[in-house]
A and B are shown apart, each in its own frame.
Chain A
Amino acid sequence: MIIINFVVSVLLIFLGLYCVCTRKNFIKIVMGLGIVDYGVNLFIVSVGFNDGGTAPIYALSDLTNGAASHFFVDPVPQALTLTSIVIGACVQAMALSFVIMLYKRYQTINADEIRGLHG
Chain B
Amino acid sequence: MMFPYLPLAIRNFFTRPSTVQFPKVPVEAKKNYRGWLAYDPEKCVNCGMCIKVCSPSAITRTVEPVEGGEKITYEFNMTSCTFCATCVDFCSTKAIHMTENYHMVSEDPKDLVTVGSRIKETKNKNKKLTCGDACVFCTLCAKNCPEEAITVDRAEKKWEVDHSACVKCGICVEKCPKKCLSFEEPAEEKLTCGDDCVFCTLCAKNCPQDAITVDRAEKKWEVDHSACVKCGICVDKCPKKCLSFQ
Direct touch of chains A and B (CB < 8 A): no
Q: Chain B: residues with CB nearer than 8 A to chain A?
A: none
Q: Chain A: residues with CB nearer than 8 A to chain B?
A: none
